[in-house]
Amino acid sequence: MGNRHITKKTIKGKEGLHPGSRKAAQLTRVNLRTDKLKQQAKARKDYAEAKLQRPLFFLHALSSPNPLSLPSLQALITEVYIARHDDRINELISERRPGRPKSKELLELEEVKKREMAEYDTGMEVPDLTDAPTVRLMYTWLTNDTSIAHSHVDLLRLIRVSAHHTTTDGSAENGVVLVRKGRAEQMGLGVPILGEDEGAEGEDWTELMKEGKKEGMEVESR
């Protein structure tokens, strides 16, 4: 009896309880435990969704089975992935009336961008789009309209890419650290697939970076 798990249902006469009573204290503990479990469940769900959404973004960024250069991948991260909410942020800023607080949506989007920029500064974990077997695997999923699940993500080679050329301890060449080797090559994707231009590189996302710098220079000159 001493180990009986107390829930709201087991607390009799919970309506009209005196704030200092034993039953009121029991009900408070149950409510706190329930809230904690809900928060933990939400955190697990958010983590699971984030683990899936990032690879999906990079999957849909592919236009061919050819791997990207590292500068192209870095530009894809900074100019497209981290900037994906910029249009909505600017829209919400323009809609905000003078003297009014920022909307919840604007605060959340700004926080997402701030967090991701900080992550990229130290190293952002992404699918290795510079690795040919990994890109072939992902492009096969894309062309076959495969419904991506966590089991698919677990097959991918992952790297941590940072904004710097080396990590603080100098252990990572070109600011890239291997997180997981992946299994694409073991799946027979170490050779070119149909539609692949062997030896060619994928889309050059650095052009977006150049355009952004050009626009910035034009704004400064006005």
What the chain holds in terms of domains, given with CATH numbers, is 66-221 (1.20.1440.170)
Q: What confidence tens digit (pLDDT) does each residue in 5-61 have?
A: 545 445 445 455 455 566 666 667 766 766 676 666 665 666 667 678 999 999 999
Residue 215 — pLDDT band, cuts 50, 70, 90? low
pLDDT at 3 over 70: no
What would you report as the CA-atom Rg of the chain, rounded to the nearest whole angstrom?
Answer: 25
Q: What confidence tens digit (pLDDT) does each residue in 164-196 have?
A: 754 444 455 567 999 999 999 999 998 888 778
**CA separation for the pair 93, 76 (Å, rounded):** 25
pTM over 0.75, yes/no? no
Residue 147 — pLDDT band, cuts 50, 70, 90? very high
